[in-house]
Structure 1
């Protein structure tokens, strides 16, 4: 088992590459925060957090606790819908794995893959674990993406902050592709398998793959694609209570994530309507989905500052930005570093299932 773990690290999470991406995330984040403080928020002081009313500080700490719980719960109930046999504690550890890996890989590509890997180590089949992670992502992404057009149409002034009217075209294309792939996986699986077969057959015909290797790859992919597609369809027809809880936990998770800014603003003495904060946060997270940098570093800080600059005093922008990132990302990343290396290096993932 140790050899398998080492092969996994070497192939997918090479220690040197992980440290490089993590360093890049820290560097870009630090430069972004420094620039925003230097240019836009001169005179700001992070110690202001300790002057917040105790009720606000306690609320932020409690919100952080429920934020992580809800993050784990949304994946847990999706897995329960798929009849996966796994404890909530094992799923809860994946919350921090996902936060850490997502924030050290471009476009957050590594987090879902890492979760699939660790779910497999806990006995959840590849097709089922892949379907669960994708469904979890689809639920939150769909809620966000469908909200953006309504927000923009109701707030025409925000169009000036976005790259022209082409944003609607990009959004429409992205959503169409998103649901098209989802449709193919459930209803047109044979077409996908046919395309995959032709692709690998072409490689074999050009002597880039041996006959034995070609057959092994095709059988492996087809087997898990069928399981994956079945589990996606099974979720839609699964136990209603778990489907409802999956949607509910996803909604509450997003509300929790968007509430950090609201509470920090309350601590800074601002009385801004929560729906206005919710609107701005949805736009920020939407922008972050397309950021190519690790953890959307730089893009997140810039987009957040741009959208919130019109609602707070200049000296309050940096504390607001810093504590939003600190509670919504940095704390989870810090915990994720220890959880990840404990599970990988010390073999904690192979503990009793």
Structure 2
């Protein structure tokens, strides 16, 4: 049967390919040809169009496509208290050597004292139709540490890492409650670190910089638990995991087995968006750890290419997954966003929409 509470049987991760009018407006702003108010007017118009397209194909969880962001993560984190954005190699190079020349430095006590994305959410909230649910996506709390590690955290501010982890958890807790107070009832934490920790290369990277990859999953889970402390009962929280998504490239590989038991049982979230669009993600066996009452959204449709999946293949893979967990605990989505950064993945807009339509059609046929 279909679900009335998120995650939905047919769902999507969050980001969508930026439209041409939006991309053109951003380029004009960069050249000084328009001001921020003119850009916002274009964003507003394009997001209204985007909402209508999502609703027209039958999606229930509606996002703004992250149309006001350049990056899925930096745009949120750099507006927290104590964070400074800098031009630097983030240390997260994608396969093929592609890097992002931006990083974050912790220069003061991490905190939350308001955020521009609250207004982004209220615009979305006010423009979805009755019967739709406005979905907000923010990076998970571990991303502030995973991206740069100890070297990006001021020793004078945080001589001990425990205080840093505690402050991040507390800041996120304030953020979660602020979004709830703004009317958000579907909030997603994008937290790639748990999937990266399944990759031996990534674990070695952490070890080389002084972290203990065996301890990090529980440290990160502790931040999530703090972020969701006293979570309102009617706020649905999901977590998205992937292995990197920038211009159709990736960073990590490896099945979920090393983190699955803790991932599913140590964090008070309602559902998990998990990448399973190719062999890099391993098999469905880790689903055996999923407790009753939680859902996994199977990311079987790739956002990295325009090739349209076969409906029969999707149904076969859902059937394979249901050997390890009840079908009623499963949903369907793309494996990641279509544009984790404003550059977007290498597929066309019509291919993106066809994939989302396919997800809705398949979900209706599988779950009724």
- Taking structure 2 as the reference length, what is the TM-score of the superposition? 0.24
Max Rg structure: 1
Task: Identify, as 1 or 2, the structure richer in helix.
Answer: 1
| Structure whose residues are more often strand by fraction | 2
TM-score (norm 1): 0.24
